[in-house]
Amino acid sequence: MNSTNSKLTYSYYPGCSLHASGKEYDISTRGLFKALKIGLKEVPDWLCCGATPAHNVDELLSLSLCAKNLSLADEVKGDLAVACAACFSRLKTTQHRLADNPEKRKQVEHAIAGSVPEKKVKHLLEILAKDYGLEQLQEAVQKPLSGLKVACYYGCLLTRPPEVPELDCTEAPTIMERVIGATGAETVAWSHRLECCGANFTLSRPGVVLKLSGDILASAKAAGADCLMVACPLCHGNLDIRQKEIEEATGTRYNMPVFYMTQLLALAAGVPAAKLGFDSMMVSPLPLLKEKNLL
């Protein structure tokens, strides 16, 4: 065991989706971190970050929910690891808004009846690419994903707006390609990697999702990708769960498995496929993985 690895330890905010519709993301994150010997401890009693609905309705509520989470997370050792791109964006936005607005900070601190700690918030991608490091990640690969053509899908909130997530370049990020590239997978160049999937319109206006996510699938297919890779349970819901409807609406057959990035990374790191939630995906990735000799 590498001694530097064991020093990495994080508090973990899974977010609501990872306990329900996006449970594969949670399972594979835990599996991956265990395989890489990175410590991960879930923040007890964390609450919903409010996602888009809270800031749509009431900014103070949105900031207060996130501030409460930051203060709960402060009880657990290590920087805060966040898997969901939307939760990550809300937590970082809160820190960004409160940093230069003492008036707002006062209101938020009154709302949560406590102070907002300076907790470092990091997306899993950042932890893997920067803290753990790509070289080490490459060394941890037991089953190279060579031959698998992956379309890395960033969506909106991982990189936008530039001053909030500070994860990578806003208009031309490469962090997902670099991370999955370390496993030997091939990444494709495609047009729609930063376009919106329709996000939470999935409940209120599914027609929007069929159009936007349909365009994303079409673009990935045109670029010759075998599969999509995402880092957000909302994107996954739209691209995987609604894929059949998209196929019916557009008359195009995609059959494009949509992986959470941690599923592919954990598979490469030697975590047994049975522990990665592949059977929970609506578009089964098993035929593809068999074809590429990855099972």
Partner 1 sequence: MKHTKMTLSTETMNLDFVRKVESLSGSSVRRCFQCGKCTAGCPMRSFMEHPPNRIMRLLQLGQWERILAGRSIWYCASCETCSTRCPNKVDLAAIMDALRKLSWDANGPSKESYVQLANRLFIENIKTYGRQYEMRLGAVFNVKSGQFLKDLLLGPKLLSRGKLKMFHSKNKNITEIENIFNRIEEMRKTVL
Question: Interface residues with partner 1 (CB under 8 A)?
Answer: 16-17, 19-23, 45-48, 50-61, 64-65, 68, 107, 110-113, 156-157, 160-162, 170-171, 195-196, 198-201, 203-206, 208, 211-212, 241, 279-282
HSE-CB of 34 using CA atoms within 13 angstroms:
12
* Closest CB 227 distance from partner 1, rounded Å: 18
Pick 186 or 245: Cβ nearer partner 1: 245
Cα 110 from Cα 115, distance rounded (Å): 8
Which tokens in the block code for residue 209? 């999702």
* Closest CB 240 distance from partner 1, rounded Å: 10
Which tokens in the block code for residue 8? 């990495």
Which tokens in the block code for residue 117? 């700690």
Cα 191 from Cα 219, distance rounded (Å): 6
Q: Residue 238 burial by CB count (10 A; 0-12/13-18/19+): exposed, middle or buried?
A: buried
Pick 19 or 77: Cβ nearer partner 1: 19
Pick 162 or 224: Cβ nearer partner 1: 162
CA terminus-to-terminus distance, the chain? 25
Q: Residue 211 burial by CB count (10 A; 0-12/13-18/19+): exposed, middle or buried?
A: middle
Q: Are 80 and 34 in contact (CB under 8 A)?
A: no
* Closest CB 195 distance from partner 1, rounded Å: 6
* Closest CB 144 distance from partner 1, rounded Å: 29
Pick 10 or 201: Cβ nearer partner 1: 201
* Closest CB 196 distance from partner 1, rounded Å: 4
Pick 218 or 241: Cβ nearer partner 1: 241
